[in-house]
Amino acid sequence: MNDSIILHDKVFKPYLSYDKIISAIDGVAAKINADYEGCTDIPVLLCVLNGSIVFTGELMKRLKFNVELVSMKLTSYDGVRSTGKVRQVMGLSGSVKGKRVIVVEDIVDTGNTIVDLMDIVLGEGASDVRICTMLLKPEVYKKDVKLDYVGMEIPNAFIVGFGLDYNEIGRNYKDIYVLDPVATEQLNEKMKYYILFGPPGAGKGTQAAAMVEKYNLCHISTGELLRKEIAAGSELGLKAKALIDAGALVPDEVVEGMIENQFKTVKGVKGFLLDGFPRTIAQAEALDAMLAKNSQEVTSVVSIMIPDKMITERIKHRATIEGRADDANDATIANRIKTYHDKTEPLIGYYRKAGKYAEIDGTGSIEDVRSKIFATMDKF
């Protein structure tokens, strides 16, 4: 059997192999053939849509007498739970009047559908009705209606595959899978998406390491991602270097593609810490759309604020320590500060309106600023 599968928001693990299912169908077919051996009439196989389509097809191939195929559709399920109320979606596709009918179900649990089916088929004038189900949950089946042919008995668990679905998908798998609650819970654990915000030189890189360690986050620095491309001498790196040297921003589509790739490939963390992205309203909107595709959203913006004079002092100091030539030029620094004020500061209003903006005074010591950051993040 294949590994676990993900359907919508749930994880299902292998349960019944195709070979085991087919063996059970062989057994059911043998019993039906014995009961109808030598029949001169043409019984009706009533396929209960949509779940029993696959089972009905396999069963028909094994029957040694002529049958007529009729279908109808009832439902009592909403997601993974039975509502207890049966609703007729599609009536009988053919007449059963005066005919012997074999109702073919994929699975019987509460039996509410079976009771309604019996009433409907007998009400339409069937001379005899027998029930055939591929699977039975004996723990929950308490009805008086006799089940004439049962492939296999299973526990009261939610399963998919071989015709059975979860919100209309999963029917195509040849094996049967059972809901994995632990893996499903892990899948749906809400990821955290923090944005570390502030002007150049505010100390974002210094604080990020402690934030990542304390909250098990993946630090995504657009600056670091771009520097890797530059070091590698890639086409992207060469284009980015020219822009960075001039103090300009790298095109949005390049940055957004790198960020989304990180979201998809990084595993084993409880969230992400975005440093250097978004820098514009357009990028913020793109990030919202990116996260919304997976029903996620920005958790909080942690903004470290310092005055312009301190920005210049810190950037020059960083340039002497790290040897980053792009930080040493006064004109470049001035351009970065202007770019920040013109294009990035509007994000304050964007996230404040969304109730996700938290501002930290970044002029204190590293330890003082860090304690303020942790106090803010702990609220989320």
The question of whether 318 is a catalytic residue gets the answer yes
**38 burial type by CB count under 10 A (0-12 exposed, 13-18 middle, 19+ buried):** exposed
CA-to-CA separations, 245 to 238, 258, 328, 379, in angstroms, rounded:
11, 20, 10, 39
> For 169, how many CA atoms within 13 A lie in the half-sphere containing its CB?
8
Distance, CA of 202 to CA of 362 (rounded, Å)? 6
| Cβ–Cβ under 8 Å, residues 133 and 107 | yes
The question of whether 279 is a catalytic residue gets the answer yes
Catalytic pick among 130, 192, 204, 370: 204
The question of whether 62 is a catalytic residue gets the answer no
Distance, CA of 137 to CA of 73 (rounded, Å)? 21
The question of whether 352 is a catalytic residue gets the answer no
Helix (H) or strand (E) holding 218: strand 217-221
**Which pair of structure tokens corresponds to residue 195?**
């944005």
Distance, CA of 269 to CA of 247 (rounded, Å)? 33
Catalytic pick among 318, 356, 370, 372: 318
Catalytic pick among 10, 130, 192, 279: 279
| Nearest residue to 275 (alpha-carbon basis) of 350, 347, 195 | 195
Catalytic pick among 62, 143, 174, 324: 324
The question of whether 204 is a catalytic residue gets the answer yes
Distance, CA of 217 to CA of 273 (rounded, Å)? 6
Q: What is the CA radius of gyration of the chain?
A: 32
**Which pair of structure tokens corresponds to residue 25?**
């169908």
| Nearest residue to 124 (alpha-carbon basis) of 46, 51, 184 | 46
Catalytic pick among 130, 336, 370, 372: 336
N residues, the chain: 380
- Point out the residues that are catalytic: 204, 279, 318, 324, 336
